[in-house]
Each structure stands twice: as C-alpha cells, then as structure tokens.
C-alpha cells in the first residue's frame, strides 16, 4: 500500500472513500493490500446467465448466429465497464477448417509502471455444442453450466476490476470459442500471445461453476492442483479461507488437459489452471438439452465470484511472482 504524505492525505482519503462507495462494498486489509470487497449482484448473475443460456442463442455453437449474439452481448458489457479491446477490436479471429470462430479479448492495463508489463489472463469459453439429443421435443443444448456460468464469472470479474482500478499487473479477460471443438480458440490465443512474447504470470480459467459441490470444505476445486502453488497462495491471499481445493476425480480424469487453461500451459509453461465446481455428483446435465439456467444456483455463483476477488486482487498486486510451477 502506498505511503500517504500529509500533503496528499486529504486527496487520498477522498479517492479511497469514493472508490469504496462506488463499489457498494467495504475494504479489508489483507497482507498490506486494501482489498475492496464488493457485492456481486445475484440478479445480474441470473439475468446474464438466463440470456446466455436462452433458446434464442441456440446453444452458442462456434460459427452460428447464436454465438454472434453472445459475442455482441459480451462486447457491450466490456464497453460499458471501460474494459478496452486487447487487439484492434475485441474479436480475435481464427478458422476451424471452414468455420470462422472468434475469441472476445478485453484488457485492463496495470497501474504500476513496471508490473503492468506482466499479465494475468482470466478466461472461460462462451461457446457450446448447439443442438443435442432430443428430450421431450427439446433439441437445444443451452450450455448453462457449460459454460455460460464461467462466462458470467469472467464478466463479473471484469466489472469489479474496472471499477476499483487497483491492479498493478495488466489483466486480459478472454472469452473463448471453439472449446467444444478441441480448445481451438484458446490454442489460437495462447500461441498468438506467445509469439508477441507476452510476459504471462498466471492463466486463471473458469469452467462450470453453476452449482455448489457436495460435502466439501472448499468452494471450488483447481485442476492440476499439484502442478503449482496456486491454490495454496490463493487461499493465503483470501485471508486463509479455503476457497480452492483438490478434487481427486479431476486428477483421475485429467481435467487439467480438458479446458482452456491447457493451451496456455503448453505455450508458456506457467501456472495455468481451471476453477470448477462440477464434481460429477452435483449436476446431471453435462452436454444435455436440460443444461438450463433454471437448474443453476445464481446465489451460489455470486458468492463464489465474491470469494475469488480477494485472491485475484492480491495476485495482480504482489511485488514478486509468488505463484510458481512445482517441479
């Protein structure tokens, strides 16, 4: 935290008060960082989730009209928050054979003259499979938990960080398409950023966070748990709360390699991991037409996103890169 001189005390106190009030939250001191605790609106989460998983978007298949509508929705959110495009526009185009896909990539520059050259990527895939096996006349695989839920999480995190403007490191908010076709969008973006020699610190991915886990003492699990100290440091940054934990099934089923974190790990060899709450017992509608927003828990999602904020804030502000791969 910056030292406040007598000359600047009044101005600094005013700025801090304005920041806190504008975020309708409160500050909490964690390891010398003033963490701004904001409330995530359950109504906002529910409304965004309902739209992204609506029949109108027809399952958000890459290359479809539905995913175009989802992309416009995300772009408008970023514009309203003041999150800038990382490239010339928000869209990062790529091809999957004859299908055109595009990631949506927003950017908040860090406010530290040196640390702003280090980046954290916060991501999720916003595509889904389009149509699925018919059940009682319904063929639209709405993809509420997979992965409108993660998309809403990234949108809310982008909103929070744009409001408080306290990130020393720069943050890229990336929504990927082509995930359901083999992690194509994230592979494209990871390789593109690697070619630019981006200094990537951590890739933090959200996948299927729409319902709470059963009988766990942590809020979400981290894929590739043993590959880095991310969970350990994240919980430390969260005032010792058990936000992220280890799920044995995630290791057994190699989930580390099955979401958009993995291309970043391959390209950069830095901590690149996925946060999820789908524990194989708490949600029966994976790639199913009944993966609808009505079966998700918006109140839990808002609570989880709030719990992710302190750890991410601290991650963007530590003087050294404390999160590291484990040999």
* Domain architecture of the chain: domains with CATH: 41-317 (3.40.630.10)
pTM to 2 decimals?
A: 0.90
Write down the residue that tokens 């100290």 correspond to: 229
Q: Is the pLDDT of residue 127 over 60?
A: yes
Interval 251-289: pLDDT, tens = 999 999 999 999 999 999 999 999 999 999 999 999 999
Q: Is the pLDDT of residue 28 over 60?
A: no
Interval 11-27: pLDDT, tens = 443 333 334 334 444 44
Q: Looking at per-residue confidence, does 8 or 214 come out higher? A: 214
Interval 90-110: pLDDT, tens = 999 999 999 999 999 999 999
């Amino acid at each position: 935290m910056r030292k406040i001189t007598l000359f600047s005390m009044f101005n600094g106190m005013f700025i801090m008060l304005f920041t806190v009030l504008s975020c309708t939250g409160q500050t909490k001191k964690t390891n010398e960082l003033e963490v701004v605790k904001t409330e995530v609106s359950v109504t906002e989460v529910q409304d965004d989730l309902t739209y992204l998983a609506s029949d109108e978007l027809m399952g958000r298949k890459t290359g479809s009209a539905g995913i175009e509508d989802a992309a416009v929705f995300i772009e408008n959110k970023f514009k309203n928050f003041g999150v800038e495009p990382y490239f010339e526009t928000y869209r990062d185009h790529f091809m999957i054979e004859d299908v055109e896909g595009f990631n949506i990539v927003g950017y908040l520059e860090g406010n530290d003259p040196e640390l702003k050259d280090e980046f954290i990527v916060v991501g999720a895939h916003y595509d889904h499979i389009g149509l699925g096996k018919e059940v009682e006349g319904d063929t639209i695989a709405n993809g509420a938990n997979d992965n409108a839920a993660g998309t809403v999480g990234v949108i809310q995190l982008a909103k929070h960080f744009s409001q408080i403007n306290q990130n020393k490191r720069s943050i890229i908010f990336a929504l990927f398409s082509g995930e359901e076709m083999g992690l194509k969008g994230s592979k494209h973006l990871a390789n593109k950023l690697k070619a630019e020699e981006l200094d990537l610190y951590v890739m933090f991915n959200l996948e299927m966070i729409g319902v709470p886990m059963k009988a766990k003492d942590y809020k979400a699990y981290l894929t590739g748990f043993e590959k880095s100290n991310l969970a350990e440091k994240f919980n430390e940054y969260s005032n010792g709360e058990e936000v992220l934990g280890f799920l044995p099934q995630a290791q057994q089923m190699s989930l580390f390699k099955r979401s958009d974190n993995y291309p970043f790990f391959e390209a950069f060899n830095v901590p690149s991991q996925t946060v999820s709450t789908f524990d194989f017992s708490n949600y029966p509608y994976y790639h199913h037409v009944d993966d609808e927003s009505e079966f998700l828990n918006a109140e839990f999602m808002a609570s989880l996103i709030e719990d992710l904020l302190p750890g991410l804030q601290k991650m963007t502000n530590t003087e050294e890169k404390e999160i590291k791969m484990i040999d």
